[in-house]
Amino acid sequence: MEIALRFYGREEELSALDEIYNQCCESYGKITVITGRRRIGKTVLSQKYAKDKENLYLFINKKEEKLLCDEYISEYEELTKKKFIGKINYFHELFELLLEYGINHPYVLIIDEFQEFKNINKSTYSEIQKIWDEYKFKTKAHVIFIGSIYSLMKEIFQDEKEPLYGRADRILYIKPFKISTIKKILVENKQYSEENIFNNFIITGGVPRYIEILNEAKRYSKEEILDYILQKDSFFIEEGRNLLIQEFGKEYGKYFSILELISIGRTSRSEIESVIGKSVGGFLDRLETEYDILEKVKPIGSKKDSRNQKYMIKDNFIEFWFRFINKNMTIVSKERFEYLKRLIERDLSTYSGPKLEKLFTEIISYNTEYGFIGRYWEKGNLNEIDIVAINELDKKIYFAEVKVNKGKINITKLKDKTINLLKKYNGFECEYEALSVEDIDRKLEETI
């Protein structure tokens, strides 16, 4: 597989995979699960890691199991340099042959879109479990199972009722690129500015495939990016739907309604239920714990059982898609893209404020000085503070107000908002800061 975007980042993941491979060579077989949302670079990561090692890559297509086996036998023969005599009708039979090969040959076996066996043949998981339990301490294969439907991969390997529960030696959840990596890509393409990194972050959220597409199209500024994604047959128009329909199944309409409401600022359960007209607790819980799309945010310093909480969409692109594309699908269907672009530009300044907070929160999280980083507000959304970072060991606390227009920040008002919170952190040394787009480079330099 040719990688269009030069390989960036992922040093920690590559190091972890290399360490596991060395363990396989020295002792016995290991299973690693690589998961994360689609377009995040799971396959590219696995192939980068396996490039200088003997390896076999198998992609699980949606077709009959026997046809899959017919396709894979030639791959097996190429790996082993031996002609296979006979017939294989089930994937688990091939899996056993591959573990047998690993007895005398340390190598990497990559099985991509592993969750597809849920549709092809569910019994594959229990058969693989039996074979793995038999061969684990004999083979030296490093088996990597990749899956892009997060909820299914979590069920397969982390649900104690499932046969492969407890069999994974390591589960790697691949996240978007860090801000520092986005900067590196823009710098290498001679397109870096603090405005460009911010606008890229708002829309791509650091997802490698989206950055790759925009990079190939040479679109870097806000205007260039919006022009590119808002056009007929654009990859981005249907991307949100393509990402999530498989995850949500038949009830996708209810989940889509909830996510659209959160994207426009209805972030509490009561606000969502006031529009939908019925309880959504179960849906919110599944979006948070099963699908990993939402996160529940509480004011920093609040009690664990506090009901003062908000729901936030974790993925920037998904939030952007629901806020501006799914919400305006009638306009999109009529291909009135110039009108939609004007609408987005009108609302983007308001929308981008919380994203700038998110960007700086991530940058500050690179700093290992702080144990807790979050937001603060009081009942009724009073005394909202954009960023609070706490170092309990050295008794230090950091407050930041974040705005796209730095001239609107008033540090005196920020200090006033902290009075009630500081009652819990009496004697802490306080630092107050105003942050805007022009501070991105400075904060990156301070924390990296």
Question: For the chain, which residues make up each domain, given as ranges?
Answer: 11-173, 179-229, 239-334, 364-447
Average pLDDT over residues 402-425: 96
- Nearby residues of 172 by Cβ (< 8 Å), 6 or more positions away: 13, 16, 17, 32, 33, 34, 35
Among 1.10.10, 3.40.190, 3.40.50, 1.10.150, name the CATH number for the domain at 239-334. Answer: 1.10.10
Which residues, in sequence order, are CB contacts of 86 under 8 Å at separation 6+? none
181-196 average pLDDT score: 95
Residue 89 has pLDDT above 60, yes or no: yes
CA atoms of 98 and 329, how far apart (whole Å): 48
Alpha helices (H) along 144-218: 150-158, 179-188, 194-204, 208-216
Report the pLDDT averaged over residues 64-86: 95
Output the pLDDT for position 218: 95
How far is it, in rounded angstroms, from Cα 290 to Cα 442? 37
Kindly report the average pLDDT of the chain as a whole number.
Answer: 95
Whether the model pTM is above 0.85: yes
Instruction: State how far the Cα of 317 lies from the Cα of 241, in Å rounded to an integer.
Output: 12
Cβ-based neighbours of 384, under 8 Å, separated by 6 or more:
375, 376, 377, 417
**Residue in the block written with tokens 């490698």:** 208
Residue 3 has pLDDT above 60, yes or no: no
- What token pair was written down for 326? 């799914």
Q: Could you identify the residue written with the tokens 């038949």?
A: 250
Per-residue pLDDT tens for 430-440?
999 999 999 99
At 306 the pLDDT is 83
Name the strands in the sheet holding 372-378, side by side, starting at the edge strand that comes first in the sequence. Answer: 372-378, 382-391, 396-402, 429-435
Assign 7 a pLDDT band (cuts: 50, 70, 90): confident
Alpha carbon distance 91, 73 (integer Å) = 10
Are 34 and 2 spatial neighbours (Cβ–Cβ below 8 Å)? Answer: no
What's the rounded mean pLDDT across residues 55-64?
95
pLDDT for position 5: 56
Query: Which sign does the torsion angle of CA 145, 147, 150, 151 carry?
Result: negative
Pairwise CA distance, residues 313 & 319, whole Å: 6
Q: What is the pLDDT of residue 302?
A: 87
pLDDT of residue 6: 73
**Interval 260-267 mean pLDDT:** 96
Q: Domain spanning 364-447 has what CATH number?
A: 3.40.1350
pLDDT in tens, 199-208: 999 999 999 9
Strands (DSSP E) contained in 198-329 are: 294-297, 310-313
CATH number 2.60.40.420 is the correct assignment for the domain at 11-173: no
Biggest CA pair distance of the chain: 80
Could you report the per-residue pLDDT of 316-370, keeping only the tens digit for each? 999 999 999 999 999 999 999 999 999 999 999 899 999 999 999 999 999 889 9
pLDDT at 234 over 60: yes
